[in-house]
Structure 1
Amino acid sequence: MVSQLEVPARDGNHSLPHTVEGLVQVFTCPHRSFFTSVMAQALRIAGQGTPVLIVQFLKGGIGQGYQRPVQLGQHLDWVRCDLPRCIDTPDLEETEIAALRELWDHTRSIVSQGKYSLVVLDELSLAINFGLISEAEVLEFLESRPMQVDVILTGPDMPAALLDQADQITELRRTHRP
């Protein structure tokens, strides 16, 4: 069962007197596959009527690409790189590099338009560490985004410069108990 919330449109008489500045959150972990809590947060926020964009840079295999986003409900768009496989190594073919660059360029463009209130950039740290997206580009993206947009960055080994920009850092750790 799917439920949808309708958010009433605000007219000029009911707008907030100021814009709340968006946060940069980092979720990092020494291993991959910890996306569940971030996804739950994105779904919860979208379910409340807030526009959300999830971008998975290193996931492929389903022929999606940014031209064909998966739309979950009315307020959540989910895009993956248009790749024939998931990326787990920096050794890529030129077509794979081009697909990832196209997704990054699209992400920067669509976020700058202010369409989304929350943007999740999944496994961004791996894309940086593999040399596919530069750290400088990500820092510029964070600085130039509309001020009300919240951004969540995920991935292992998050670069220190991005951690320095974060308003909140969540480090997930596994504990093994007998």
Structure 2
Amino acid sequence: MSETEDIEEAARHAAKMARIKAARDRMMATKEGEKGLVIVHTGAGKGKSSSGFGMILRCVAHGMPCAVVQFIKGAWDTGERRLLTTHFGGLCQFHAMGEGFTWETQDKARDIAAARAGWEKAKELIRDPAIRMVLLDEINIALRYGYLDLAEVLGFLAAEKPPMTHVVLTGRNAAPELIEAADLVTEMTLVKHPFRGGIRAQPGVEF
């Protein structure tokens, strides 16, 4: 490509990017509102909790008080739990309420009691207008197994969540009613996972 062609190509690229920027600026000019969002991370793929914790760390970085309630993995010594409780306890409350997956506890009544205790704590945290984001990690699993009442959760979020509070709900098989009520829904798609190849969960990747 000659120098003249290089100059022409650069000019075409600049003009194209200018058009894209103008279109984006017009679109952004119509987006002026802010509100507390109900956010759902679901799907069979890895990354639902990781994404939720990423949002919690953003809140911490912005000095925004936040909280985590873990409904299933409470017995696990996770990296997120270590980091938040050790270094950011002043900004992020961390409540590990679950005792493990239902096939590990093998005690339905115990699982239900743990889920209910987690939900009561979650309601307390969400009601506090000083807390800007509450992550309800793996609550979708508790809802799927019927440990919590879906209508109660939806009704509470609609009626009692402060206007500027974000609530993030993670876990597979999010109920259609929850997806409909949410403001932001992301479905993680499983393409490939090392577990299927015989590789167990590892620190820094899964927990």
Q: Fold match, TM over 0.5? A: yes
1:80 aligns with 2:96: yes
Alpha-carbon distance in structure 2 between the residues aligned to 1:118 and 1:174: 27
1:49 aligns with 2:63: yes
> Does the aligned pair in 2 maintain the 1:47–1:75 contact within 8 Å?
no
- Tell me the alpha carbon deviations over residues 143-168 of structure 1, each in whole angstroms, 9 at most, x when there is no partner: 12111101111111100000001111
Name the structure 2 match of 1:130. 145
> Does the aligned pair in 1 maintain the 2:44–2:190 contact within 8 Å?
no
1:101 aligns with 2:116: yes
Alpha-carbon distance in structure 1 between the residues aligned to 2:86 and 2:69: 12
Name the structure 2 match of 1:111. 126
> Does the aligned pair in 2 maintain the 1:51–1:75 contact within 8 Å?
yes
- Tell me the alpha carbon deviations over residues 103-133 of structure 1, each in whole angstroms, 9 at most, x when there is no partner: 2112112321223111111111110011111
Structure 1 segments of 4 or more deviating over 3 A? 31-34, 69-72, 88-91
The 3-state SS of whatever aligns with 2:73 is coil
The 3-state SS of whatever aligns with 1:60 is helix
Moved more, 151-160 or 36-45: 36-45
From the CA coordinates, give the structure whose radius of gyration is larger: 2
Note the residue ranges of structure 2 that are not aligned, 5 or more in a row.
Answer: 1-32, 78-83, 193-207
| Alignment CA distance shift 1:161-1:93 (3 Å) | closer
Name the structure 1 match of 2:42. 28
The 3-state SS of whatever aligns with 2:67 is strand
> Does the aligned pair in 2 maintain the 1:60–1:87 contact within 8 Å?
no
> Does the aligned pair in 2 maintain the 1:32–1:156 contact within 8 Å?
no
| TM-score w.r.t. length of structure 1 | 0.74
- Displacement of 1:33: 5.7
| Alignment CA distance shift 1:99-1:37 (3 Å) | closer
Identity rate, percent = 28
Alpha-carbon distance in structure 2 between the residues aligned to 1:71 and 1:78: 11
Note the residue ranges of structure 1 that are not aligned, 5 or more in a row.
Answer: 1-18, 64-68
More helix by share: 2
Q: For this pair of structures, how many residues does the alignment match?
A: 152
